[in-house]
Amino acid sequence: MWRAPGKRAPAKRGIVRSNEELIELARQAREFAHAPYSKFPVGAVVECRDGRIFTGCNVENSSFGLTICAERVALTKAVSEGARDFIKLAVIADAHAPVPPCGACRQVISELCAPETEIVMANLHGQAESRKVSELLPAAFDQSFL
């Protein structure tokens, strides 16, 4: 199987990293954020059932509408490398409470993750909480409407 240089071999199926480990990976990804306008760097990581992980950070643009959030970066990186079976997604920012995905990200998460996929929300103050995708975006618009 072809793998991009530097990529880790897939871990055994069924490995689930702890929320703390995922939060740390998201915190590290946050360091790469390009957030000169909002000054609100965000990091995210998505874990696949096969053990692969994909990180993301927000990438802002002076044309604000082109900005992409950390969660969507992580998910699009994963999809672009053939990963689909996501089991957890973690997101972190320096916020007063565990940072939730924005509405746009909730829609994208709902498109790509199963309703029971765990979304771990955290902040830099050690607070974290989890919700299922179906709890973050109930009554989602999905392919059944097309």
**Would you tell me which residues interact with Zn ion (CB under 5 A)?**
69, 102, 105
In the bound complex, what is the minimum distance in angstroms from residue 67's beta carbon to Zn ion?
Answer: 9
Identify which of residues 3 and 34 has a Cβ nearer to Zn ion in the complex.
Answer: 34
Block residue for tokens 């990293």:
17
Identify which of residues 74 and 105 has a Cβ nearer to Zn ion in the complex.
Answer: 105
Cα torsion through 142, 52, 40, 100, rounded to 10: 40
In the bound complex, what is the minimum distance in angstroms from residue 106's beta carbon to Zn ion?
Answer: 8
In the bound complex, what is the minimum distance in angstroms from residue 135's beta carbon to Zn ion?
Answer: 17
In the bound complex, what is the minimum distance in angstroms from residue 75's beta carbon to Zn ion?
Answer: 10
Q: How far apart are CA 62 and CA 135, in angstroms?
A: 33
| Alpha-carbon separation of residue 10 from 3, 30, 37, 100 (angstroms) | 10, 23, 37, 29
Residue from 20, 71, 111, 116 carrying the catalytic annotation: 71
Identify which of residues 11 and 117 has a Cβ nearer to Zn ion in the complex.
Answer: 117
Identify which of residues 15 and 35 has a Cβ nearer to Zn ion in the complex.
Answer: 35
Give me the sign of the Cα torsion angle 15, 16, 21, 26: positive
CB atoms within 10 A of CB 38: 12
Tell me if residue 71 is catalytic: yes
Catalytic residues: 71
